[in-house]
Structure 1
Amino acid sequence: MKVALTRPVGKSEPLSELLLQQQIDSVICPVLRLNEVAVSDAAQAMIHEAELAIFVSPDAVRYFSQLAVPLAGHCAAFAVGEGTADAIQQTLNIKAKYPKQPDSEGLLALQQLSSVEGKRVLLVKGKGGRPVIAQTLKARGAIVDSLVVYERTAVKDTSDSWLDHWRSQQIEGIVITSNSAADAIFNTQSSASKDWLAQCTFFVVSQRIAEHVQQSYNIEQSQIVVCHGPDNRAIAGSIIDYTKQQGRKMTQSESQTKHTNTQQTQRAAEQTVASHQAKAGVSKVALLALFVALGSGIGAGYVYLQQQQQLQQTLLANQAISAENQLLSTQLNGAKSQLQRVEKVLDSLQGDVTKRLAEQQQNVDTQLMQTLAKAQQQVSGAVASEALYLQRLATFKVAAEQDYLGAVAILERLLESLASESNTAVVKQAIATDIATLKALPKPQTESLYFELHGLLSQVDVLTIKTKQIPQTSVSEDAVLSQQVDDWKANLQRSWQRVVDDFITIRHHDEVIIDPLLDKNEQLLIRAQLRAYLTQAQTALMDQQAGIYFSALDGAAETLARYFDTQHPSVNAMQQALHKLSRSEVQRQDSVELATPAAVKGWLK
């Protein structure tokens, strides 16, 4: 027996070697190719959330590993069969649970998958396939996420070239491991190829594939062999068992044929001898004519009998077709009458629906008109709330912060919100009046004064503090004593100087040495004091506290004059700036009364 192995590339070689060990020839001819399916980032995110992961095939494991996205540490792995479990162990280094029955039903029968309500299950699979695992787990309350990592596609558009090659190789058996492979093999329009396939023996790895081949392509059940499992050893064992079984049947058939032929020969010889003994006087020519006549009669009778049987079968088939046509006619008449009743019901329902829709449309129009009328008479809650909020905010800006420009912007926003409202002429007039009044007011100098003080603060660290200059030491006179008596005073002074020089060392410098009056810490404290006065003036300016503002400026001016070099340009410039700031006006202006709040309240009433 010669077998065609149709698994994808790289999977049929081990099976071919197993068959060759048993002297069974095989032809490797892949009919499907596996292609990787791109997995989106959202689909990859499901991997981390999975509590259970189910792999349907070793190919699913292989393509999943190429994603380089590991399963969560608490995720339990399951495999449909032992081969898939081995692939998980080798590729992902995870021990997976698998059933003894290597199919979807066996997997779903595992105790660990019986209570999965509320759990997230990741189903790693190929494109297509049976939905029984996902449907069953969803029915049990699980949250199933299907992750498609590969797809099967036929190597060729039609199977004609494969089938011609297999016929030339005298193939008798074909191994099929999936429904997709079966569809690819039977994808032919040639009648001769279909007839040849109908005579082949198919070795399938599951009962599901056997039913698919039998129902979809009318293959007899006797020509389908369901293997012991999907792995290579199980398939090879099934093929070997089938080959041995067929060999035993052929041996028994040949023995029975020989035995039957021997008995028939003996009986014919006995009859011939008896005939010769009974009719010894009959000539051989007459006996031969008798045999020819008997043979012709028997042949004619056999032909007649065959024709009668065919005629009987044709009559029975015609009767069955007539009965079926009559039944179909009855069903068609019933369907027509039922269709007429349905059309009448639909017409009646359509009339009722049209009438009800018209009534509802009229009611909706009436309610809409009433609602619009009410809306025109009263202000909506959202507009009222916004108007109250904006007028209160504008009042606060004017009274508390004296931010007239901010108040103008708020009033302009209030004017825009009331543009589509009715009966707002008085309010709009009040808003326009307030905007004109606020724009006419002088702008406060608070910001400019504040930033000017900020500029002075940034110059504190570079101001020059008063320092002391040590005068240059004069060159000492010649200490040589004079021989003149009149120079006794000078000689006495020189002698005294020599005695003093033995106890005191005087160093002379050619360069001018400048030493500060204060050390570094005291200088830092002085600068910090000046900075504190300026910061206090800033705060008092923002709080409109004129007394504190001017007092802080006076303290800063006094510190500047006492400790800093007023001859230096930077110190002199700061003194002038402080003098200018001390003459600025920081008192609040008279309060401004807005007309908008009263107008808004009157409009809302």
Structure 2
Amino acid sequence: MTAWRLLLTRPADECAAMAAALAEKGIYSASLPLLAIEPLPETPEQRTLMLDLDRYAAVIAVSKPAARLGLERVDRYWPQPPLHQTWFAVGAATGEILETYGLSVHCPEQHEDSEGLLAHPALTAALDIPDPHVLILRGEGGREALAETLRTQGVKVDYLELYRRVLPDYPQNALTERITAERLNAVMVSSGQSFTHLHAMAGPHWPVVSKLPLFVPSARVAELARVAGAQRVITCQGASTAAVLAALEQHQPE
């Protein structure tokens, strides 16, 4: 495992936590956050959603920022979340944030993505009521697959969009200069948007960057990377530190 020299691209606070976990395993990493989280101001429509929180049979957080910012909104309007409600998280790390708040949370056990959550029996049970409503906590312009599938099942779905992800401002060639200076031999992205930012930041140097092993959290992001020309894509079956460590252990640099 120690042969890996990994570029981390998550938001800065998440890079720091993962770098520490990797260092404990003797894995070298460097951080170049390609996502920055910008909280969105609350709209009157969103305030209404929170005041009506008790009408949702299930609340789903699709990311760690969605969980953190969503709980801040809950705190603003509710002494405690409605007791009849079931909470879900797409990934284990997101679930941990909700559990720290005191919620009982269900997460996919194997595939940490929307498809894994849709197959969870607890979600099926939570929605087995007349006229079920679901609230999805997410960032601006997230994936539609989860809501679309639920709607085909007769579920009414609302979004609470809490933040946007932006590419931090870096000097030209910052990506390739970091890879070269620190002799990095792999890159990790945590979402489709972080891959899009990686591809954009590489610019004319993408043919070089595309040769590096790329660790991704899901089959969807893997397909996005392959279509763009990434030559060795490794799917981690989730974005958690444990999933990344498992993938690093199973694969070696060429």
| Structure 1 length-normalised TM | 0.38
Q: 1:98, 1:155 → 2: CA distance?
A: 30
Q: 1:51 aligns with which of 34, 57, 68?
A: 57
**1:164-563 paired onto structure 2 within 5 Å:** 164-188=177-201, 190-191=203-204, 193-215=205-227, 217-220=228-231, 223-243=232-252, 246=253
Q: Which amino acid is 2:187 matched to?
A: I
Q: 2:33, 2:14 → 1: CA distance?
A: 9
| 1:21 Cα offset (Å) | 3.0
Judging changes above 3 Å, is the alpha-carbon distance between structure 1 residues 190 and 107 closer, same or farther for their aligned structure 2 residues?
closer
- Structure ranking higher on relative contact order (CA contacts 8 Å, 6+ apart): 2
Judging changes above 3 Å, is the alpha-carbon distance between structure 1 residues 155 and 116 closer, same or farther for their aligned structure 2 residues?
farther
| 1:90 corresponds to | 100
| 1:122 Cα offset (Å) | 0.7
Q: Which amino acid is 2:77 matched to?
A: V
Three-state SS of the structure 2 residue aligned to 1:4 is: strand
In the TM superposition, what whole-angstrom CA distance separates every residue of 1:519-576 from its partner, at most 9, and x where no partner exists?
A: xxxxxxxxxxxxxxxxxxxxxxxxxxxxxxxxxxxxxxxxxxxxxxxxxxxxxxxxxx
Check conservation: 1:22, 1:240, Cα contact below 8 A.
no
| 1:157 Cα offset (Å) | 6.8
Kindly report structure 1 stretches of 4+ aligned residues shifted beyond 4 Å: none
| 1:150 Cα offset (Å) | 1.2
| 1:160 corresponds to | 173
User: Aligned pair 1:147/2:157, yes or no?
Assistant: no
Check conservation: 1:7, 1:176, Cα contact below 8 A.
yes
Check conservation: 2:62, 2:90, Cα contact below 8 A.
yes
| 1:116 Cα offset (Å) | 5.7
Judging changes above 3 Å, is the alpha-carbon distance between structure 1 residues 139 and 165 closer, same or farther for their aligned structure 2 residues?
same
User: Aligned pair 1:118/2:131, yes or no?
Assistant: yes
Check conservation: 1:127, 1:149, Cα contact below 8 A.
yes
Q: 1:7, 1:63 → 2: CA distance?
A: 17
| 1:143 Cα offset (Å) | 1.2
| 2:36 corresponds to | 33
Q: 1:107, 1:116 → 2: CA distance?
A: 18
| 1:145 Cα offset (Å) | 0.8
Three-state SS of the structure 1 residue aligned to 2:207 is: helix
Judging changes above 3 Å, is the alpha-carbon distance between structure 1 residues 29 and 69 closer, same or farther for their aligned structure 2 residues?
same
| 1:189 Cα offset (Å) | 7.0
| Structure 2 length-normalised TM | 0.86
In the TM superposition, what whole-angstrom CA distance separates every residue of 1:63-113 from its partner, at most 9, and x where no partner exists?
A: 11222233333222111122222211112x210122213210111112343
Q: Paired residues, what number?
A: 240
Check conservation: 1:80, 1:103, Cα contact below 8 A.
yes
Three-state SS of the structure 2 residue aligned to 1:187 is: helix
Q: 2:24, 2:200 → 1: CA distance?
A: 32
Check conservation: 1:60, 1:124, Cα contact below 8 A.
yes
Q: Which amino acid is 2:238 matched to?
A: G
| 1:24 Cα offset (Å) | 2.3
| 1:69 corresponds to | 77
Larger Rg belongs to:
1
User: Aligned pair 1:19/2:22, yes or no?
Assistant: yes
In the TM superposition, what whole-angstrom CA distance separates every residue of 1:20-61 from its partner, at most 9, and x where no partner exists?
A: 233321101111100101122332222323222111122111
RMSD of aligned residue pairs (Cα, Å): 2.0
Judging changes above 3 Å, is the alpha-carbon distance between structure 1 residues 156 and 233 closer, same or farther for their aligned structure 2 residues?
same
Q: 1:228, 1:189 → 2: CA distance?
A: 25
Judging changes above 3 Å, is the alpha-carbon distance between structure 1 residues 188 and 153 closer, same or farther for their aligned structure 2 residues?
closer
| 1:6 corresponds to | 9
Three-state SS of the structure 2 residue aligned to 1:123 is: strand
Three-state SS of the structure 2 residue aligned to 1:66 is: helix
Three-state SS of the structure 2 residue aligned to 1:146 is: strand
In the TM superposition, what whole-angstrom CA distance separates every residue of 1:458-478 from its partner, at most 9, and x where no partner exists?
A: xxxxxxxxxxxxxxxxxxxxx
Judging changes above 3 Å, is the alpha-carbon distance between structure 1 residues 188 and 10 closer, same or farther for their aligned structure 2 residues?
closer
Check conservation: 2:67, 2:98, Cα contact below 8 A.
yes
In the TM superposition, what whole-angstrom CA distance separates every residue of 1:491-537 from its partner, at most 9, and x where no partner exists?
A: xxxxxxxxxxxxxxxxxxxxxxxxxxxxxxxxxxxxxxxxxxxxxxx
Check conservation: 1:30, 1:155, Cα contact below 8 A.
yes
Which structure: greater strand fraction? 2
Q: 2:243, 2:234 → 1: CA distance?
A: 12
Judging changes above 3 Å, is the alpha-carbon distance between structure 1 residues 5 and 35 closer, same or farther for their aligned structure 2 residues?
same
Judging changes above 3 Å, is the alpha-carbon distance between structure 1 residues 190 and 137 closer, same or farther for their aligned structure 2 residues?
closer
| 1:232 Cα offset (Å) | 0.8
Which structure: greater helix fraction? 1
Three-state SS of the structure 2 residue aligned to 1:186 is: helix
How many percent of aligned residue pairs carry the same amino acid? 22
| 1:162 Cα offset (Å) | 2.0
| 1:334 corresponds to | none
Three-state SS of the structure 1 residue aligned to 2:77 is: coil
Q: Which amino acid is 2:216 matched to?
A: V
